[in-house]
Structure 1
Amino acid sequence: EGRWREYAGGYSDMVAQRGYGLSGPLAPEPPKPEKAAPREAARPAAKRKLSFNEKRALETLPARMETLRAELAKLEAALGDADLHRRDPAAFDRATHGYAEKQAELDRAENEWLELEILREEIEG
């Protein structure tokens, strides 16, 4: 075109009035339509089974959780002694740290068991 015209407003107003934008090498590429992501659900899901380790964990975790609960009960009984801290501060520290560790271990075991149970129920339908 090569003709100079004065527009009220800025460059974007001029582009809007003319109905087109930059052309040539400086023009940004028009956005490409996004391709649909391949659908995972369209494929029939392969029948998944629990692995040997998962089955074994499902069998052994309940007993491990009971053992941890028993150990926590012993530590609670020891910490219930009001004179323990005064009598033996080192034993009190061991009991409090042991309680925190056992509680964290119990939480991890319960979460793992719950995840495995959910997985087992999903597989069995």
Structure 2
Amino acid sequence: MSNDTPSVAVVDDDESVRRAIKRLLSSAGLKAETFKSGDEFLEMFDSIPSYRPACIVLDVQMPGLNGLEVQQRLASSGIPIIFITAHDEISVRQHALSAGAAAYLRKPFNDEVLIKAVRTALNLDPGP
């Protein structure tokens, strides 16, 4: 694997979810860094200009800044965001997608669906 493997930021307040997604992405040949909150992610994003993940897997409901607030703060970055949530509310889904989310997945999600969403967001899928 080359050093230019895309990095995916995984932002979720549930440690077991972060670990599972990191392991899953790693098994698909992708690098992942995990963050326990939107605040923690944005602190790194804002303080280290060279840190720019190729994609973000972002939980909707977290203590502190929620996923939609993080998405709003990153609106000008152009980084694709894939939302994951255990509480699928249609208004939240519509808001996230209308604000440019690459995908919106309900937990528990199928591993292959998440990998496909990430690969699509990163333009890694070869297509038909």
| TM tier, smaller | under 0.3
Which of structures 1 and 2 has the larger relative contact order (alpha carbons within 8 angstroms, sep 6+)? 1
- Larger Cα Rg: Structure 1 or Structure 2? 1
More helix by share: 1
